[in-house]
A and B are shown apart, each in its own frame.
Chain A
Amino acid sequence: MFRSFIDSHFFFLTEKMILSTLQTPRSLSRLSLTRHSHSYTSRASLTDQTPTLTTSPPPHSEILSTRQTLLSRRASAADLALSRLARLRLVEPRLRAFLHLPDDDALHAQARRLDARIAAGDDPGPLAGVLVGVKDNICTKDMPSTGGSRVLAGYRPPFDATAVKRVRELGGIVVGKTNMDEFGMGSTTEASAFQVTANPWDESRVPGGSSGGSAAAVSSRQCVVSLGSDTGGSVRQPASFCGVVGLKPTYGRVSRFGLMAYASSLDTVGCFGSSVADTGILLHAIAGHDRFDATSSKQDVPDFQSQFASVSSLESKPLKGLRVGLISETIDKGVDAGVISAIRAAALHFEELGCSVNEVSLPSFSLGLPAYYILAVSESSSNLSRYDGIRYGNQVYADELDSLYGGSRAEGFGSEVKMRILMGTYALSAGYYDAYYKRAQQVRTIIRNSFKEALSQNDILISPAAPSAAYKIGEKKNDPLAMYAGDIMTVNVNLAGLPALVLPCGFVEDGPAGLPVGLQMIGAAFNEGELLRVGHIFEQTLENFRFVPPIVADDDIAF
């Protein structure tokens, strides 16, 4: 009934968007290769200082080794892309991490263009040849972007999200769109309208969510790094469940333009990698002010590369003097014992590295969860209003307008989304606004202040990334409150707008090969550099753990 004239204008719009968002590529020379020769051999000095000898090498930067491979012409981008695509496709039927994969030819063509640039002696960019998975709520103009929702099934945006555009400008190859809970509303990918992704460590378990596809894809080495989004923990919790590094940047650090809004005041675009260095390099690529996002910050983006010191250059106590606060409320009741002991072990490791570790109490911590849910559902009830079937997406035929709206949205949205829209609509209704939304904003201020206070006493705060390791598919599907409670570790950080890095720090004994446990490190606003520096040292000095899931054959990752 209602149809606009718009469709025929998409091409024009696309062109316009490209023109109007053109940016000068950042300096490619910032990435110095020589500085990053850390990895296997360079660990001698540290092992001299530590009593336990390691049998597994620390993770290295796949982005940097890809770059070395390409620049030294050991392999072409086309060859690398094809071999990695083959592996991606090999495990995909078991994991179902991707909602959309472009055909090989398209990716191959992109890789060939990179090879041509390398052959011509040009710098192909710091992300050259790197396969990047992109969460499906981040717009890509050459691939469908559905946000995991039926309401947008088949929808193709006319523009690239700013983060995607920057990845491409730096040579990255978008390898596909990753699965997620519908519009980011969920912690398992079970709320995806299309499929459930399996955890690479145990295929009977969830990968976490909502960025479960992005986390599983990096964990299983289907792609090198991936973009996710984090509104209440949607990068950090799946990073923890899948044993990869996940970074939620400071609110405003990365443009949200092109990220389908869930809760605008909390949404961030985040990064996944199998090492801290890769995660940091990806963040560096996408961070910085964007004139298409009024909430993006004009703060300078420092060169995170310099934070990834080679282990050989480390002193015996490389983090000497660093004040680490362990948030006591996060190792309390309701948190799995295995998780607590992994975090305590991580705290010991920090001490070994020279840090002073103290427990700090954030009394407002438990207020975060209800405040978060009020704000998130309120904003989402508004943000999802645009999915009305009028201009794009799923439209139900109806004789009158209200039925068109009702039908399109009833068919288009899943039950979790509907529930949150209803709750948010209720919370914003006249007469309830003060009791819910306004009150939640007040709590948000309290939480922000208590973090500020804690971060004036400590350089970083640590906690688990989730109260448990990955649970079984279906286990919490019918118990939304239990699932919401799983966000307790992460939502406060979104309310405070702070950056947080999650990296694997240990295992709990479960599943066929144990399940990884993620450590969350929270830093001061716009201090991602410090988190990456500390995270990198932690990661490179962590003994006895190897966070490669069983789905990845050993020889697969050696390239």
Chain B
Amino acid sequence: MASAIFRSLQVHPFLLYPTTLLRRRNGVYHLTTKATQSQTDTQPRQPQTKVSTSSTQSKKLDKIPKNYEAIIGIETHVQLSTLTKAFCGCPYHYGSPPNSSICPICMGLPGALPVLNSKVIEFAVKLGLALNCNLAFNSKFDRKQYFYPDLPKGYQISQFDVPIASAGFVDVDIPVEFGGGHKRFGITRVHMEEDAGKLLHAENGNYSQVDLNRAGVPLLEIVSEPDMRNGIEAAEYAAEIQRLVRYLGVSNGNMQEGSLRCDVNVSIRPIGQSKFGTKVEIKNLNSFSSVSRAIDFEIARQVQLHSQGQEDQIVQETRLWEEGSQRTITMRKKEGLADYRYFPEPDLPAVILAQEYVDDIIKSLPELPEIKRRRYEQMGLSMQDVLFLANDKNIAEFFDATLAKGADPKLVANWIMSDIAAFMKNEKLTINEIRLTPEELSELIASIKGGTISGKIGKEVLFELLAKGGTVKELIEKKDLVQIVDPVEIEKMVEKVIAENPKQVEQYRGGKTKLQGFFAGQVMKLSKGKANPGLLNRILLEKLSSNS
């Protein structure tokens, strides 16, 4: 249990091959296999899915030799969850029929012009602030030019030399089982751009079709400094970006749908060497776990070449992560630098930010993951609890709302991380979908603490609340869960029943002792079923036996 922590790692269901997937370099990775439909998915932890660290293949590739270090930078594309695309009025819904959400503007028809959706700027400013960046109060759009069938205008509207945000950083807590610790990774820049469409290749390879639904959907590209040193750090960085965009509500951050895409750059060098090695780009990383594994594979590949004197075989190229074979393969070699012939987009005015506008956005920012984690830490929660609770914005909100009702943080954390998480996992529900409210969880904890109900009954109540809702009070009453344990109160009821049934008392005392059941029933009825049966029988026997 100690080493199994919840990670927001997601993998594509098709790619679930236990032998290749669940192998880690130096610890246990917790993988959820849920294909998430909503942006509020959670990754509840379940001890039984704990996986051993036994490596099945290419173990030799898993370790970075001591005398090398890896330099890793990440480019992340975040698809913004605006109602409409960046430059036209088309909505975007993942999975819509091809070309069902397009118009002359996003199709790049002759004469069509882009008009910027102002939400894109708002979201960019939010993320820029959350990444501790400097904002460019006067930025602009540029055209990045290249030909590809999924790019309708022959250029992508992007930002080149003046990104809207730059020079920031992000703080990350490395999970305990990976060595723990607090790391800060630099953010080089954040810029706004539009997405391209998609090519659908025919199975026989004879033709390709173009789906432009995604063309023109707004993206933020986040470029990190080359501050990561291994796959875990890179995956943690990416996971923190996902948390941030979800906390901010600017994207659903879903990797399988491509709402969050990571391209990583990896190079290695012997420790002590100041010159960087040749940088290799890796694409097709559909989960945080593939980010981590692809990087570790690539590092090992490069180190192996370098240590065998084949340094020149490490070339500047784009490699593809193959989930099936768990390795990177050459996608395309880079022949010289691509010349995108950037120039300022003449169809769009400059992007000018007013201080007031930025101030308003600052005021509207939610508590961000890093600040939340520090706050939870101060409550005395373990780092494991802290990471679990802060990982998911909705769970954190649930946790905070429960605390607001006066519940003890550690008790709340325990309930959320054990039974509630297990329930969500089994029922495939998110915390927003369960019927239990923070108020009732707080009430439940208080009921147990106050002795109204036992811990065991508390669990029953919890599952009832999770599944059917309702209030703790109602349930306790309905289910006769509060016992009358006061002997005086029970004695009063026994006396009343005896007094009201003199004939039966006579018979009982005359030897018809099986009438005890009758008396017990009457008392229980009188107590509405709440009298403690043991106590009731003891007092009843006493009273019946004594000659009054």
Binding site for B on A (CB under 8 A): 1-6, 9, 13, 16-17, 20, 137-139, 145, 147, 152, 155, 157-159, 161, 256-261, 263-265, 291-295, 378-379, 381-382, 384-388, 390-392, 401, 405, 425, 428-430, 433, 437
Contact = CB atoms under 8 A, between A and B. Distances in A.
B115 A293 contact: yes
8 contacts: A2-B209, A6-B210, A258-B111, A294-B115, A294-B116, A295-B113, A388-B149, A428-B341
Interface stretch (B19-27, B125-133, B345-353): B345-353
Given A381-B341, A386-B108, A428-B343, 19 more contacts: A1-B208, A2-B207, A6-B212, A17-B103, A159-B104, A159-B111, A257-B113, A258-B111, A261-B113, A292-B113, A292-B115, A294-B347, A295-B346, A378-B343, A386-B152, A388-B147, A390-B152, A429-B339, A437-B343
A277 B112 CA distance: 31
Nearest to A291: B115
Contacts of A9: 99-100, 102
A263 B344 CA distance: 12
A13 to B, nearest CB: 6
Contacts of B149: 2, 388, 390, 401
B116 A5 contact: no
Nearest to A390: B149
B109 interface: yes
B99 A158 contact: no
Interface residues of B, number: 40
B319 interface: no
Interface string B144-188: 010101001111000000000000000000000000000000000
Contacts of B401: none
A18 B339 CA distance: 39
Contacts of A256: 111, 113
B143 A2 contact: no
Given A1-B208, A294-B348, A429 B341 contact: yes
Best-buried of B112, B113, B347, B348 by chain A (most CB within 10 Å): B113
B349 to A, nearest CB: 6
A280 to B, nearest CB: 25
Nearest to A146: B110
A425 B343 CA distance: 11
Interface string B91-124: 0000000111011100111111111100000000
Nearest to A267: B346
B341 A430 contact: yes
Contacts of B154: 382, 384-386, 388
Interface string B275-296: 0000000000000000000000
Interface of B: 89, 98-100, 102-104, 107-116, 143, 145, 147, 149, 152-155, 207-212, 337, 339, 341-343, 346-349
A-B pairs, 3 with minimum CB distance: A385-B154, A264-B346, A265-B346
Given A5-B211, A157-B104, A386-B153, A139 B111 contact: yes
Nearest to A266: B346
Nearest to A139: B111
A294 B116 CA distance: 8
A294 B117 CA distance: 11
A158 B147 contact: no
Nearest to B101: A9
Nearest to A392: B109
Contact of B111 (A2, A20, A261): A261
Contacts of A401: 149
Contacts of A430: 337, 339, 341
A425 B107 CA distance: 23
A390 B103 contact: no
A235 B39 CA distance: 54
Given A17-B104, A382-B155, A390-B210, A425 B341 contact: yes
A295 B347 contact: yes
Nearest to A1: B207
B143 A382 contact: yes
B111 to A, nearest CB: 4
A2 B110 CA distance: 19
A429 B348 CA distance: 22
Contacts of B348: 294-295
A8 B107 CA distance: 14
A20 B112 CA distance: 14
A1 B210 CA distance: 11
Nearest to A378: B343
A117 to B, nearest CB: 29
B113 A391 contact: no
Contacts of B212: 4, 6
Contact of A5 (B98, B114, B152): B98
A391 B108 contact: yes
Contacts of A138: 111
Nearest to B145: A382
Contacts of A388: 147, 149, 154
A52 to B, nearest CB: 48
Contact of B152 (A147, A391, A429): A391
A5 B100 CA distance: 9
Given A293-B115, A294-B349, A429-B341, A5 B99 contact: yes
Given A9-B102, A385-B145, A392-B109, A2 B208 contact: yes
B45 to A, nearest CB: 44
A145 B110 contact: yes
A518 to B, nearest CB: 28
A2 B210 contact: yes
Contact of B99 (A6, A265, A405, A437): A6
A197 to B, nearest CB: 21
Given A6-B212, A386-B152, A430-B337, A158 B110 contact: no
Best-buried of B112, B114, B147 by chain A (most CB within 10 Å): B112
Nearest to B349: A294
Given A260-B110, A264-B346, A429-B339, A20 B89 contact: yes
A138 to B, nearest CB: 8
A140 B211 CA distance: 26
Nearest to B87: A294
A228 B99 CA distance: 33
Contacts of B341: 381-382, 425, 428-430, 433
A382 B143 CA distance: 8
A382 B342 CA distance: 10
Nearest to B336: A430
A291 B109 CA distance: 17
A36 B323 CA distance: 78
B147 A405 contact: yes
A517 B106 CA distance: 44
Contacts of A385: 145, 147, 153-155
A425 B112 CA distance: 22
Given A16-B103, A385-B154, A155 B110 contact: yes
A295 B210 CA distance: 30
Nearest to B112: A257
Nearest to A12: B100
Nearest to B337: A430
Contacts of A429: 339, 341
Best-buried of B103, B108, B110 by chain A (most CB within 10 Å): B110
B111 A157 contact: yes
A4 B341 CA distance: 27
Contacts of A265: 346
Nearest to A6: B99
Given A3-B207, A9-B99, A292-B115, A157 B339 contact: no
Contact of B107 (A2, A6, A433): A6
Nearest to B110: A260
A386 B145 CA distance: 11
Contacts of B346: 263-265, 295, 379
A393 B112 CA distance: 15
A219 B209 CA distance: 48
Contacts of B147: 385, 388, 405
Best-buried of A4, A5, A13, A387 by chain B (most CB within 10 Å): A4
Nearest to B109: A157
